[in-house]
Amino acid sequence: MTRSFDIVVVGAGPAGIAAACAAAEQGRRVALLDDNPAPGGQIWRGPSTAHRDAVSRAKERWLHRLQQNPAITSLHGCRVFDVPGDGLLAAEQNGQRVDLRYSKVVLATGARELFLPFPGWTLPGVYGAGGLQAMVKAGLPVRDQRVVVAGSGPLLLAVAAYLRETGARVSAVCEQASWRSLLRFGASIAHTSRLWQAAGYRWRTRGTPFHAGCWPVAAHGGKTLESVTLSNGTRQWTVPCDLLACGFHLVPNTELASLLGCTLQQGFVTVDALQQTLIANVFCAGEPTGIGGLELSLAEGEVAGLAAAGAIRAAQARIPRRDRLRAFAAQLAVTFALRQELHSLSKADTIVCRCEDVTWRTVSQYTGWRAAKLQTRCGMGPCQGRICGSALNFLLEWSPDSVRPPIFPVSIASLAGPTASAPAELSAIQEN
Ligand SMILES: Cc1cc2nc3c(=O)[nH]c(=O)nc-3n(C[C@H](O)[C@H](O)[C@H](O)COP(=O)(O)OP(=O)(O)OC[C@H]3O[C@@H](n4cnc5c(N)ncnc54)[C@H](O)[C@@H]3O)c2cc1C
């Protein structure tokens, strides 16, 4: 099946929702698609908690605006995996291939957590920080579970607050950035609502120890997690826990942008003032252009949606605000830059690629990503290097030579094309 739209927006997080609304309000026919069952992206997924804050108010406002607009076709559970031709995206929805023809496309594919391998990180009970939050939103019970939240980034406090409200006993929040960095960051946001937001999360986690300059070095357990050893560089101590929520800030999802030929700089998609990439008719907004939080994603999404719809003046009017918010992205990058000590978290027998069970001893013998892939299958499993590739980018400064389709595992039938009749249950995983 091929469907045609003026504008296709990939990713229904805040950036994608803002882009779709802005473009549709200019009279364009818009498709908004996302691989999740409902719009909202990472931050607005699932039901709202009882706690009413700026995030939940923004969620209500934007979802209402989205639902009110008949010019937007929302395609849920729909994942783009290939770019079969000019102005064409291939997606899979409910096991069926859907081709989407567009005049303009807005990439709002968000970010994922960065996981760094350390001994025990593959034990059941060790989750990503945002990953555990997403599981709880989807129904995983955590009442009375002892949880340590560790890693880096503003997400840690948000996750700790959420887990406490859902009944977990959060024993500690451990941020690898130093107090000095955090205090400087606090001073830089002193006159903004962000300080109140951070203070709000800290209030909601009051009573839970917050350790700066502290990171996990090992997770222990038999069949499941039993404790985690933490370090502050001079001392190590072990905390009993049932769950470890651990993520080292975020990395952008840029695979689709790369497939479309967009230029990346320092891992982020290059865009001009109107969020247009260096490829004609391809716009990008939100985390793939820089990790800057909810407000920046919304602001970039609006500029991209308006520009894609041809409303250039309206888009330009929003640029100054977007640029002010971008300054915050720069502060985040400096504050939560990962410390040198994290390079030595992996031990010889620590698994780095968990899809293919490749250890640090094995992978670190190679000089680059391609050789390691060819010799060890590292990065060739179901996640296609999304986890180990980002870790190895930090640990060894490796990056992939190229991105090839399919960027997600899909059925053979979807891969073969709209007319294929191959058995749908076979899974095709890229092997190059
Ligand atoms: C796991 C996680 C949890 C987070 N939780 C919080 C939180 O609690 N509080 C907070 O302040 N910030 C949180 N953040 C940060 C937050 O996501 C950002 O601040 C911001 O809201 C991102 O908005 P976005 O629209 O750019 O991206 P996202 O919200 O990430 O939306 C991108 C969407 O695109 C979809 N997508 C990507 N590729 C494809 C494809 N090929 N086909 C179809 N769909 C695709 C993704 O599934 C996702 O739904 C979290 C981030 C992550 C990674």
262-315 pLDDT, tens digit each: 999 999 999 999 999 999 999 999 999 999 999 999 999 999 999 999 999 999
In the chain, what are the domain boundaries? Answer: 2-111+251-333, 115-248, 346-396
**Ligand 1 closest atom vs CA 247:** 1
Q: What whole-number distance in Å separates Cα of residue 12 and Cα of residue 261?
A: 22
**Beta-bridge partner residues of 150:** 174, 246
Protein residue closest via CA to atom 10 of ligand 1: 43
Protein residue closest via CA to atom 2 of ligand 1: 130
For residue range 389-406, list pLDDT tens digits in order: 999 999 999 988 888 899
- Asked whether this chain's domains 2-111+251-333 and 115-248 adopt the same fold, the reply is yes
Protein residue closest via CA to atom 13 of ligand 1: 43
Q: Ligand 1 center to residue 111 CA distance, Å? A: 6
Q: Ligand 1 center to residue 348 CA distance, Å? A: 33
Q: Which residues of 312-342 are buried (b: 16+ CB within 10 A; e: fewer)?
A: eebbeebeeebeebeebbeebeebbebeeeb
Q: Is 139 exposed, middle or buried (0-12, 13-18, 19+ CB in 10 A)?
A: exposed
CATH homologous superfamily for 2-111+251-333?
FAD/NAD(P)-binding domain (3.50.50.60)
CATH homologous superfamily for 115-248?
FAD/NAD(P)-binding domain (3.50.50.60)
Alpha-helix residue ranges (DSSP H) falling in 80-154: 129-137
3-state SS, residue 217? strand
Protein residue closest via CA to atom 3 of ligand 1: 130
- pLDDT attached to residue 316: 98
- pLDDT attached to residue 423: 40
Q: Ligand 1 center to residue 138 CA distance, Å? A: 15
- pLDDT attached to residue 304: 98
- pLDDT attached to residue 242: 98
Q: Ligand 1 center to residue 57 CA distance, Å? A: 18
Q: What whole-number distance in Å separates Cα of residue 410 and Cα of residue 426?
A: 8
Q: Ligand 1 center to residue 299 CA distance, Å? A: 15
- pLDDT attached to residue 51: 67
Low-confidence residues of the chain: pLDDT under 50: 420-432
- pLDDT attached to residue 46: 77
Protein residue closest via CA to atom 7 of ligand 1: 43
Protein residue closest via CA to atom 14 of ligand 1: 43
Protein residue closest via CA to atom 51 of ligand 1: 42
Q: Ligand 1 center to residue 110 CA distance, Å? A: 5
The model's pTM: 0.93
- pLDDT attached to residue 166: 94
Name every protein residue with a CB atom under 6 angstroms from any ligand 1 atom.
10-16, 33-36, 41-43, 79-80, 108-113, 130-131, 133-134, 155, 158, 250, 253, 256, 286-287, 293-294, 297
